[in-house]
Amino acid sequence: MTQLTPSEPNRMNPTTTALTQEALLAKINQFEQQFAARSFNDALISGQQLVEILPNNPQIHFYLALVFNNLNLFDQAYMQQLEAIRLKPDESIYHYNAATYADIMGNALRAMLHYQRCIHIDPNHADALWNYSEHLRLDGHIKMAIECLHKLIALGKDHYGKFYNRLIACYALLEQYSTQTAELYQKLLNDPEDHIARWGFALDELKNERFESGFAFYNRRFESSALNNAYCYDFPYPLWDGVFHKGQTLLIHGEQGLGDEMMFLSTMNELLAEAQHTGTRIVIACKPALVRLFALSFPNTTVFAHKYETPALEVAQLPISAQLPMGHLLQRYRKSIADFDANRHPFLVADAARIAHYDERIKIQGREAKDGRRRFRVGLMWGTVSAEAVQRFVRFANKKSIALSLFSEFEDVIDEVEFISLQNHERGAEAALLPELHIVDFSLDQTDFYDTAALMCNLDLVITIDTSIAHLAGGLGLETWVPLPKLADWRYGKKRDTSYWYEGTHLFRQTKADHWNDVLDNMHTQLKARVQKNQKDAASKHKK
């Protein structure tokens, strides 16, 4: 703790000017000793008294903020730090500490501004450069993140844990660093304990459509669960060795998000075809919202609700021979793009009675009830919410989402199009934000994906951001348009405009990070053409 010095008498609180210099120094000394001894509850009392006496001393506010921080009172720490900044706005450490408090509070944007200011004041502030580089990376400002990391190398400050893992994660996103990426991976993968490098390498291989090696490394994803949100329940059964034995029961269980589980089970019919030859029984343990859909789509399986933290209790009653996380199926059945090409067909099924139910509901709730005219039906999914309250997942959810107001240019096709919301209850009410599109809302009716599938089978086109709805639409074989952020997920490849997972799924990519205008302009143009084609087809059919 840097020695505190009292402010000049004319800057003291007028109500405390009677305090002698000796008494003031004693109070400061007491605060310093309590802080040094980590007696933070006592230091809090002393610090608050000193703030009353010396309200214009930035050091007092700075150290009182540290006391709040050590007491896990981060909101108060941040507010106290702001007071120090107000009094001395050009002190780099003040902005650095404010940034760390904001980070802890989950206020990433405010943290970034403080790191930025800290680096402006002190361009060589290593900790600020390190922390700021991660914010820049997560927000997609890759070149700026690399600049921060290169600056740290120049300063000889590359000692931070997993420094080169972060650097290679940035390199891998830019074509110009392909050589450096390969060289760094060659070095990092030699460390058997570097799980982060293996996960990053898996994603890089998959993004470049090198599936055999990519899925081999992908199978080690549980080593990096905190990083990738892939968690596997420790079932008391051996991992399946890939060999079918007569009469065995094989458990295939979920591990990630709703969309992931649907994507993984695009391989299920291939597994069932192999299992049939030996009479192997397949049991699926999946997220509750998928149980009815999977039970209908894969009638020769037994399906139970399961989450990695709360496994299906019914499974324990079955004679399970072996188990396999769903994602492991990809290494077996998707070794090359040819494997995808041969199996890019619908695998999910919707209930016929529920399809008819939603057809009737669309007619009643939409404009067809007024004029009897069936319009071209377009499903819209514009926003998602991260299932995990972790900053990197929340940020990625925001990057994928599109403000509904940006769809306003679609108004000129409204006479020919019935827009149907595919949002769930969390964001369904947003349909009211763009009344010009007359969006038909079923968000409060959707209880699981069995119902959502039935609703979607009444649509002529699905427009959805990268979320579980994209996988549901693809699995059902529906014509689907997916607008993608500049730095899209590995499963969409780098440059392709169609999905290798699903027939009929087209990709619309941002050309500039965080800018959706070009994407929406493109979709708008194609939607108008699609509607015109639909009108011509309808006219030709009517003439016949």
pLDDT of residue 83: 97
Q: Sign of torsion, CA 384 501 488 232?
A: positive
Give the helix/strand (H/E) hosting 226.
helix 225-228
Architecture of domain 352-542: 3-Layer(aba) Sandwich (3.40)
Predicted structure pTM score = 0.87
pLDDT of residue 9: 40
Nearest in space to 58 (alpha carbons), one of 82, 79, 41: 82
| Burial class (CB within 10 angstroms; exposed 0-12, middle 13-18, buried 19+) of 319 | exposed
Tens of pLDDT, residues 173-191: 998 998 999 999 999 999 9
Q: Where in the chain is the domain with CATH 1.25.40.10?
A: 21-219
Q: Where in the chain is the domain with CATH 3.40.50.2000?
A: 352-542
Please report how many Cα atoms fall inside a 13 Å half-sphere around the Cα of residue 348, on the Cβ side.
33
**Candidates 3.40.50.1360, 1.20.1050.40, 1.25.40.10, 3.40.50.720; correct CATH number of 21-219?**
1.25.40.10
Which residues are within 8 A (CB) of 215 and not within 5 positions of it... i.e. 6 or more apart? 202, 206, 330, 331, 334, 335
pLDDT of residue 14: 52
Tens of pLDDT, residues 341-376: 999 999 999 999 999 999 999 999 999 999 999 999
pLDDT of residue 243: 95
CA angle 231, 167, 157 (to 5 degrees): 115
pLDDT of residue 389: 52
**Candidates 3.40.50, 3.30.310, 1.20.1280, 1.10.1760; correct CATH number of 249-342?**
3.40.50
Give the helix/strand (H/E) hosting 379.
strand 376-381
Q: Which parts of the chain have pLDDT scores under 70?
A: 1-19, 386-392, 542-544
Nearest-angstrom CA–CA distance, 74 and 101: 6
